[in-house]
């Protein structure tokens, strides 16, 4: 893929991560840790809603995109089942005798409940429209949709000072809802030529059944993955309260900035992979991608380990624990990123049940470890539980891919990752109290480079060649 196209896809995630790095500390300074915890519950519920109500049909859309000629009809088929289900649930919660805002946020408010529904519907449609843009390989448009919600949220939060608004959760909820809804409008405008045509398309029942057969096994996997990433928030809220939840959530959110790599890579990888599948897959090309991603993951983890002490300098003193929590929290997006390459055989063979199995096993382990560790270690226990659970998730996907497709070399990958897990555990349990521990992170990066020296050398040579060629 050309460097220009890669850059177009990279602008959005990088810009979104940069804006998040400004927005999150800003929120931490103006709002209480309890309100930051409530914001986390909002994000968790919106994520659950997208995972549940989409019925994983966006993944069927991606899988069938290069196989079907009528792209607009394909988009319509992917949206309809989930929209019907979401509307049914909305009606139920609207007439229910209990307050959903009280259950989630500990605040009785009809306004908060309405804002929640607006967020959920907006996120639901954004999920599908974003995949449409990505599969059309419109890099700049895709990047714009990533930057827009972050930029809008930062803008709205800035109004606190300008308009002297009350720094309370209702204000924070309103700002978040406005940013998501306006982002949905931007997505709608950018994809108007697709969804307007899609409205009049007839429903192909045969294709719909085929898509559901692929996606429904992924729903359970998606729900399990949501639980894997969000369960710790519920345990912390229950066992430690909103204050510690706020600290942990901010650490996880900052670590989630690493997801910029996942976003860029997924935007490029899935269309490319399934194009390779159609043309005939070369396993050596897959192995090159896997080894390259191992080097990226280990380098990023080492850099965060060495420089995490800088993060508390820009946050209120209540967030000092983020220095060591983030080292464990960053394992979640990194393991997921790596599993996108090592688990390719699952998508190639259409054996989506193995993705569900990986999520379910990791979910069970995460639940047990959260229950055991949080009462003892608090947020640190939740972070450690997530490291183990995501490593299990990565391992199951990797081994399943080897089982159903091609068994690629992976022993060296496990060796270096176990080393990083050990270092992360040491930092969290000692609360970053060991002097000169940065030497361990440097050592791990060197070991990783030596284990994959051929791939590192070829990558560096390729980059040098490209740089010289552009002069």
Tell me how far apart the alpha carbons of residues 420 and 252 are, in angstroms, rounded to a whole number.
18
Predicted pLDDT of residue 413: 94
Cβ atoms of 356 and 220 within 8 Å: the answer is yes
Inform me whether the pLDDT recorded for 3 exceeds 60.
Answer: no
Which range among 190-194, 219-223, 396-400 shows the weakest confidence by mean pLDDT? 219-223
**Looking at the predicted structure, is the pLDDT value of residue 197 above 90?**
no
Residue 304 and residue 325: Cα distance in Å, rounded? 11
* Helix axes of 33-53 and 110-135: crossing angle, nearest 10 degrees: 50
Selected residue with higher pLDDT from 105 and 342 = 342
The pLDDT, as a whole number, for residue 263 is 66
More confident residue, 37 or 321: 321
For the record, the structure tokens of 306 come out as 């060495």
Query: Residue 241 region, left (φ>0) first, then alpha (ψ -120 to 50), else beta?
Result: left
* pLDDT tens per residue, range 152-171: 888 888 877 677 777 788 88
Domain boundaries, the chain: 1-203, 218-471
Q: By CB neighbour count within 10 A (0-12 exposed, 13-18 middle, 19+ buried), where does 27 fall?
A: buried
- What per-residue confidence (pLDDT) applies to 471? 52
The mean pLDDT of 239-266, rounded to a whole number, is: 76
What percent of the chain has pLDDT above 90?
Answer: 25
The CA-CA-CA angle for residues 6, 292, 344, to 5°, reads 85
Q: Is 320 a residue whose pLDDT tops 80?
A: yes
Strand, helix or coil for residue 408: coil
Mean pLDDT of 75-90: 90
Whether the per-residue pLDDT at 432 is higher than 80: the answer is: yes
Torsion of CA 100, 101, 105, 109, to 10 degrees: -160
Q: Dig out the tokens for 88 from the structure.
A: 């049914």
Higher pLDDT, 68 or 189: 189
Mean pLDDT computed over every residue of the chain: 84
Q: Residues 6 or more apart from 255 whose CB is under 8 A from it?
A: 304, 326, 329, 330, 332, 333
Q: What local confidence, expressed as pLDDT, does residue 54 receive?
A: 86
Read out DSSP for 17-56? Answer: HHHHHHHHHHHHHHS-HHHHHHHHHHHHHHHHHHHHHTTT
Which run of H or of E encompasses 288?
helix 283-307
Torsion 122-243-13-389 (CA) sign: negative
Mean pLDDT of 234-254: 80
Reported confidence tier of residue 4, pLDDT bands at 50, 70, 90: low
Q: Which of 113, 95, 150 is CA-nearest to residue 260?
A: 150
Q: Closest by alpha carbon to 286, among 351, 338, 342, 352?
A: 342
Name the least confident of 93-97, 288-292, 436-440: 93-97
Q: How much of the chain exceeds pLDDT 70, in percent?
A: 92
Average pLDDT of span 443-468? 82
CA-based radius of gyration for the chain: 22
| Cα angle 241-246-247, degrees, rounded to a multiple of 5 | 110
Helix (H, G, I), strand (E, B) or coil at 213: helix
The percent of the chain in helix, strand and coil, each rounded to the nearest 5, is 85, 0, 15
How many whole angstroms separate alpha carbon 432 and alpha carbon 45?
Answer: 32
Query: pLDDT tens across 388-414, in order?
Result: 999 999 999 999 988 988 888 899 999
Measured from the Cβ of residue 77, the count of other Cβ atoms closer than 10 Å reads 25
Polymer length of the chain: 471
CA distance 267 to 131: 9
From first CA to last CA, the distance across the chain in angstroms is 20
Predicted confidence (pLDDT) at residue 422 exceeds the cutoff of 70? yes
128/418 Cα distance (integer angstroms): 36
Rounded Cα distance between 321 and 392, Å, is 26
């Amino acid at each position: 893929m050309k460097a220009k196209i890669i850059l177009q896809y990279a602008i959005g995630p990088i810009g979104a991560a940069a804006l998040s790095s400004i927005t999150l500390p800003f929120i931490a300074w103006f709002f209480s840790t309890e309100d930051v915890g409530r914001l986390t519950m909002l994000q968790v519920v919106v994520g659950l809603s997208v995972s549940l109500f989409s019925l994983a049909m966006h993944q069927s859309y991606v899988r069938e995109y290069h196989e079907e000629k009528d792209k607009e009809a394909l988009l319509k088929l992917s949206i309809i089942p989930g929209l019907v289900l979401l509307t049914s649930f909305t009606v139920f919660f609207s007439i229910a005798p209990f307050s959903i805002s009280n259950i989630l946020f500990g605040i009785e408010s009809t306004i908060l409940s309405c804002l929640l529904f607006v967020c959920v519907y907006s996120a639901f449609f954004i999920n599908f429209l974003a995949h449409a843009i990505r599969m059309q390989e419109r890099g700049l448009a895709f990047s714009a949709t990533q930057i827009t919600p972050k930029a809008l949220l930062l803008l709205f939060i800035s109004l606190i000072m300008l308009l002297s608004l009350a720094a309370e959760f209702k204000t924070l909820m309103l700002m978040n809802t406005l940013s998501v809804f306006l982002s949905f409008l931007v997505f709608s405008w950018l994809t108007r030529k697709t969804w307007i045509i899609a409205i009049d398309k007839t429903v192909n029942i045969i294709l719909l059944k085929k898509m559901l057969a692929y996606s429904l096994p992924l729903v359970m996997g998606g729900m399990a993955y949501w639980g894997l990433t969000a369960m710790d928030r519920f345990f912390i809220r229950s066992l430690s309260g909103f204050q510690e939840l706020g600290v942990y959530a901010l650490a996880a959110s900052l670590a989630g900035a690493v997801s910029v790599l996942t976003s860029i890579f997924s935007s490029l990888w899935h269309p490319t992979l399934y194009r390779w599948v159609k043309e005939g897959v070369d396993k050596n090309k897959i192995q090159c991608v896997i080894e390259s991603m191992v080097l990226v993951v280990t380098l990023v983890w080492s850099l965060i380990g060495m420089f995490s002490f800088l993060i508390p300098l820009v946050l209120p003193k209540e967030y000092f624990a983020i220095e060591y929590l983030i080292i464990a929290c960053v394992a979640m997006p990194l393991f997921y990123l790596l599993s996108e390459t090592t688990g390719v055989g699952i998508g190639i063979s259409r054996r989506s049940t193995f993705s569900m199995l990986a999520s379910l096993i990791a979910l069970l382990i995460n639940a047990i470890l959260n229950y055991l560790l949080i009462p003892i270690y608090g947020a640190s226990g939740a972070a450690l539980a997530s490291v183990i659970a995501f490593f299990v998730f990565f391992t199951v996907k990797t081994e399943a891919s080897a089982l159903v497709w091609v068994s690629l070399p992976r022993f060296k990958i496990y060796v270096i990752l176990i080393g990083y897990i050990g270092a992360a555990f040491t930092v969290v349990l000692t609360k970053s109290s060991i002097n000169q521990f940065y030497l361990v992170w440097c050592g791990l990066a060197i070991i990783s480079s030596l284990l994959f020296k051929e791939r590192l050398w070829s990558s560096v040579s390729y980059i040098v060649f490209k740089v010289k060629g552009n002069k």
